[in-house]
Each structure stands twice: as C-alpha cells, then as structure tokens.
A and B are shown apart, each in its own frame.
Chain A
Amino acid sequence: MRKLVWLFLILAVTLSFAAKDIIVVGTTDKIRTLDPANCYDYFSSNILQNVMVGLVDYEVGTSNLKPVLAERWEVDETGKVYTFYLRKDAKFEDGTPIDAHVFKYSFDRVMRLNGDPAFLLSDVVEKTEVVNDYTFRVTLKYPFSAFVSVLGYTVAYPVNPKVYPADSFYEGIPSASGPYKIKEWIRDVRIVLEANPNYFGEKPKTKTIVINFYESASTLRLALETGEIDVAYRHLDPRDIIDLEGREDIVVYKGNSPQIRYLVINVTQPPFNKVKVRQALAYAVNRSVIVEDVFAGLAKPLYSMIPEGMWGHKNVFPERDLEKAKALLKEAGYDEKNPLVIDLWYTPTHYGTTEADVAQVLKESFEETGVIKVNLKYAEWSTYVEYFLNGTMGLFLLGWYPDYLDPDDYVWPFLSESGAKSLGSFYANPEVEELMIEARKLTDQKEREEIYYKVQEILARDVPYIPLWQGVATCAAKKQVKGILLEPTQIFRYYILYWEE
C-alpha cells in the first residue's frame, strides 16, 4: 500500500512538472495568412515572428537591430548595394538549409506575387543576386537608409522553396525556421506551437504554447479569470485592465507601443484649408482627458507624429491653450457670433470600443472654445477608408502601426505628397519632401535626426495632422507566468515565456 502511495505521489509530481511545459495564451485577434508574402496584419506577423527568422531581428527588449540569419552585411559607397553574409547552420524544420538561393527565391517571390506587403520590398529593391551559396546581394533603386529596418519585418523572411509555391500564395502551415514550429492550426479556434528541434538558436523556455482565439474582449477576460488561459494578450478593454490590476493572482503588464493615434485634416477642404483654423484646433485639443477618462491612463499624450521613445522624436505641438485657439480663430474670421461649424468623423469598431468616447471628448474640447460647433459623424471602416481616400471627410480620427521601426515610417507616409493623399490629408510641401528624401539617403543617425527635427517643426506649423496619443501595450497573465516582455517593437515573443511556481 505504501508503495502505491509513493508511486501515486511520484506520478503526481511528474505530472505537475509536465504541465509546466505548456502555456495557454488567449487573444481576440485572428490569423489571416501565414505566408510572409501576403501577411500584413499584426497577429499573423506575430506568429511568423515566433516560427520564422529573418536576416535581422531586434534585440530582445529594445528597438536596436541585430544580425540573425545574416552574420554581417556591407553597404557599398553608393548606398544602394547591400551584401549579406549568411550563417551556415540555419535550417528549415525539414532540414533544408537556408542559403542565398533560398533568399533570392523568397525575395523574388514576394515581389512577383505582389501581395499586400510586397510594396515594402518592391518599392525599393532593384534586383537580388546569389553571390555564392552563403552570400546574398540586394541592389536598391535608390539609397534608403531604413532598408535594414524593413528586413526586420516578416515580408523579408525567407521561406522554404519545398513548401511555398513560387507562383501562388501558400495557405498551409509554415515550414519553421525559428524557435517554434506549428504543431496544429485550427483556424479561429487555436494554434499550437511546439519547440523546433532544427532551430539553430536558443531553445524556447516553454516547449508548447497554445494560442486560443476568442471573439470578444469580455470572453477573453472571463477566460483569464476562470483559469482557462494563462495569458491574455490583445485585446482587453481599458476598464477590464484596471479591474484585473486589483486581483492578487493576476499581473498586468504595460509597455511602450509604437502605435499612434491622430486627427487627419484635409488641408484642401474649407474651412480646413486655412492654416490658422488648423493651428487653432491643435491648440484646442485636450489630450489629457482622452488619456485619463477614456483610456484610464493606458495611453500617453503625443505631441509629434514620431512617437516618444524613438530616436528623432521631438515634442513640437503646443500644450492646450484655449485663449490662443480663440485668437487664431478670430484671425481666421470666426468668433462667438460667427462660430466655426465643422464635422468630426470617427469609425466605431475598427479601433475598439472606445472610439465613440474619444470623438465625444474631442467634440467637447473643441466646443469649449465657445467659437467652434462640432457635428459628430461616423462611418463603418470600409466606408471610412473610401471617404478619406476620396477627400470626403475634412477632419477625422485615424491610427498607425509602423511597418518598420524607423522615423521614416512616421513621416514619409504622412507628409510625402503621395502618402498624404492615401491618408486623406492631401498635404503637399516640396520642402518637406526634399528633406525626407535627404534623410533617406543619409546613413548617419545624428544627421538624419537633425533633418527629422526640422520636418517635425514644419508639421507643427502647417498642421495637416494633430497627433493625439500613443498606445500603451497591455497584457494580463497569471502571477506564475514569467518572461512577458512588451517591447517597443511590438513583437510578442512566446519563446521567452516560462512558468515559475
């Protein structure tokens, strides 16, 4: 009998240790595709970032790039030819070596298939070459100093030519080259990641990660509270986060996010074609009410389009000053008797459930001047996009997630003539455009920084956009789950998660 008790105890202990080999994560995000050539949404990229690797990656916890599949690289004096020297021990899940031929196949495939993110490469890449088995060369159309940052995004990850067809997108399970491989994937139900034995780098701290998909934030929260999941990552509502902070068994993590939110002003549409009106709006906007009342402190006020924490950032927009706003409006021909009547547009679900509140707070902050009357209008996302591309809306809320972590991705898409058109501000300023092209050519970060300071100052003077707030990334997990790191790059690394009793 005693033997049996011992056996039972040993079994129980073994099982309890075995159970720690698995962490269950819950999310309300969905996976669209796991083909890097077509993947352009956050969560699909996030899975790829854990099962695949690229030439470069960000150092854990920072936004500094480090070589991964490339041991090193050289840029020639024209700034257009990049030569990458590859590591020789990298393999796909099935043992296929990751060499220069694989890279050429992958880059050419992305540009040939022309999927959603392909322009990130095809806009700048002139040609790709195999110099030898482990030397890969890329020639650019023009010098572009942020090119290596683009290589950190999943679009530039090499794919296994034995698995990914050359002439069509691939819908199946990726051939892993990173810390994890995909053991099971039931769309919109769950995806199971398991340690990849063929990965050249450090083994993941937890052997199996199960990611469970939920339809709503409330169910996600309940799943964490009932213990069905160990980690809730994207998207809990701000109020739920505050509630969960009060619990002893759950830890809430907050981190920097490169996501920014802003108001777009169509500078061609009256009355927004008057710069004084735009400047007055920038003075009237109340960021602190949005941050505190709507997001319960889970956001940071933003005074430039380049987010805080990124090099090149400079606070250029003014603090709230209603008197100054009124004075500017008076100069533009508006006062209490002849108020400025404007429409403010928002989209109700695309940016979460808080958007209507944000719009209401903005309306109130503008109307506090006593000189502005705001009509709130909204449209569902697909209509909204159509409206801003057509120039239908004069003043509207929008948000931005970067494709690559470089100040260029926060100024070029907004202030270049073509970019501003596609974001609905229709701003065009040759001086700014020249400055940005100059910054793209330079490789010295200090010199580029000086240029971005100038660009931001012009942005605050011309006000085609009003930056409002910067996101705070959040995650809630059981107390015993460690290794959660909300990085400035937004990469959520499952392979550093582990249990600690």
Chain B
Amino acid sequence: MSLKNYVITRIVLAVPMVFILLALIFLILRIIPGDPVLAILGGKAPKEVIEQKRHELGLDKPIVVQFFDYIGDLLRGDLGKSTLTGRPIWDEIKERFPATLELTLFSFVIAVLVGIFWGSFAAYRRDSGVDIGARMFSMVMYAVPVFWFGLMIQYVFGVVLRWLPVGGRISPTIDLKVITGIYSIDALLTGNWQALKDVFEHLFLPGLTLGLVISSIFVRMVRNNTVLTLAQDFVKAARARGLKERVVLFRYALKNALVPIFTMMGLQFALLLGGAVLTETTFSWPGLGSYLVMKIRYRDFPAIQGTVVFFAVIVVVISILVDVINALIDPRVRY
C-alpha cells in the first residue's frame, strides 16, 4: 500500500472510531444516574421551572431523538451549549484548550529532554550509579501519584523556598494582551518581557510535575532501547573505526534506538493532553482537564461530549501523524 492510500485509509477508519466513541459517551451519560438540570438547580426551584429547563435543553425527548439531534448539530459544526453556563461549548473549549496545550508542550519538552539524556547516558554507563539512579527514578516516578508529587513540589518551592508561584497561569497584577491564548507566545508577540518571565514562573512547577512523571516512561524506554542498540554490530563497527564515544552514542546508537521511542512519544503526547487533569486541578491550571472534571460534576452533557470528542479527534490526528512520520523515517513501516 502506498503512503497516500495508507493515510487515506487511516482517516476513513478514524471517522467511525470517533462516532462509536461519541455514541458510547452519549449513552453512558444518559444511563448513569444524575440529571444536569437537578445538578444545577438542586431542589430549590419549583417543579415547573425544572420541567421547563429540561424541555429547553431537549432532555425530555427520547434518547434516540436526542442522539440524532446531537449528531445533526455536530455535523453542522455545532457542539451545543453548556447546560451549566448556557454558552457555546466550542467557545469554552477555545478558552480552555490553549492553557492545556501550553502546559502539555512544556511538560513534553521536559519529559523528552530528561528521557533522552538520562536514558541514553544510563545505557552508556550501564550498571553504574547513573544507571541505577535512572532505573530507580523511572520506577518511583511512575508509581507516584501526580497530585501528591505536585503538592510536595508546591510546598517546597512555593511555601518553604518561596521561589515560585503555586497556582494559576499568570500573576493577578500582570496585564497581558491575550492573542493566541498561549500566554508565553502572547508575551513574546507583544514583547511583554515581564509577563513572559511571570508566565514561565507559573508554568514551571506544573510543567515539571507532569514532565517528570511522564519522563519516567521515556527514561526507561530510551535506556533499554539504547542498551540493545549499543550491543549491535553497526555500533561495534563504529567503535572499531575509532569514532569518539560521544558520536557513537548520539549519532549511531541513540538515533536508531529512537525510532520505536518516537511512536511512544507521539502517543504519550496525545495522552498527556487528557492526562493533565490531576496536574491542572492541583495547580489550579485553567485548562481543559479541570474543565472536564467540573463539567462531569454538574452532568453537563454537551460539555462532556464536546470535550471528549475534541480529545478523541486530537488523539486520532496525532496518531496518524506519528504513523506517517514513522513511515517516512523507516521505509519498512509501509502497510
């Protein structure tokens, strides 16, 4: 199969996948107990008000009708309105997503840097202190709950040392013109250096928390793959030619070890977007993760469905991109 056909097949297959996911979410939300109108109004409002609100939201229609209404709206590009705020879901996602993206990118950079450098160095110095440290690190960080690690980091750097802020995206007193919603980019675009410094200060602790937790997987994978690659003939040949160890490690061993890791990184990035929920809650990061948690609490059906569909589309797009890049890097990966 040619690359073009392969990509088209993947995209075509993605559509029913998202549709099935959507149908499942739709069904689950309506099967589990809990009514969005009651979650908002409690028992205080009179019965007629509750009934009218339910009617306005279309929740009094049969599930099948509700589902097809929803799909119809979705095909027209309308994600619906939040039952909690009455605002279009798409507007709310647009407001929240840049925060999650910024945190995810920052954490990803930390995770990749720590993963590649520590992992490859540990492989190179196999069974040394660095290697044992790497293995210990990946084991502990993988097991540690993100919110606990986040709280510890907040306590040490925020409360005890007072170096960094513990929550939010920007100091309350700093004015920043929002253009893209990614504050670090906005600060750069407007040349607001004070804001840029402040944004990075706010980004550091949640980014480090999420980045280190994710890096545990990378450290282990890079280490193990590099260990295997270092034992291969082409590495031995490179060494035999008298190349410097640095060149052997980075140009020969690591480059080859990275191919399977790259796939893993792509998938991790997609998962990171959704997996930032706990970090966002711990650090009061106003992203899509904490948004989803809040909406689940209020049974805000359209908002939960919209967010899940949005995440699903991102995961699908990223996994297709990863496969395409993989296929380009490694010609053996043609299906």
Contact = CB atoms under 8 A, between A and B. Distances in A.
Given A222-B154, A383-B34, A214 B168 contact: yes
A382 B298 contact: yes
Given A210-B173, A226-B159, A422 B167 contact: no
B175 to A, nearest CB: 8
A38 B95 CA distance: 22
A228 B165 contact: yes
A91 interface: no
B101 to A, nearest CB: 15
A226 B168 contact: no
B62 interface: no
Contacts of B165: 223, 226, 228
Interface in B31-53: 32-36, 38-47, 49, 52-53
Given A210-B173, A381-B297, A188 B38 contact: no
Interface stretch (A111-119, A280-288, A443-451): A111-119
Contacts of A213: 168, 284, 286
Interface string B259-270: 000000000000
B294 A382 contact: no
Interface string A386-401: 1111000000001000
DSSP majority for the B interface?
A: loop
A141 B39 CA distance: 30
B187 to A, nearest CB: 15
A446 B173 CA distance: 51
Given A114-B49, A382-B298, A413-B44, A189 B34 contact: no
A222 B281 contact: no
Nearest to A19: B173
B166 interface: yes
Contacts of A123: 46
A216 B284 contact: yes
Give the bracket for the number of chain A residues in contact with chain B.
35 or more
Contacts of A214: 167-168, 284
A33 interface: yes
B171 interface: yes
Interface in A114-131: 114, 116, 118-119, 123
Contact of B86 (A169, A186, A387): A169
Contacts of B85: 32-33, 171
A229 interface: yes
Nearest to A225: B159
A22 interface: yes
Contact of B172 (A114, A212, A382): A212
A60 interface: no
8 contacts: A30-B294, A32-B84, A219-B166, A222-B154, A223-B166, A381-B34, A413-B44, A421-B47
Given A171-B85, A380-B34, A398-B43, 8 more contacts: A30-B294, A33-B86, A114-B52, A213-B168, A225-B159, A228-B166, A349-B297, A385-B42
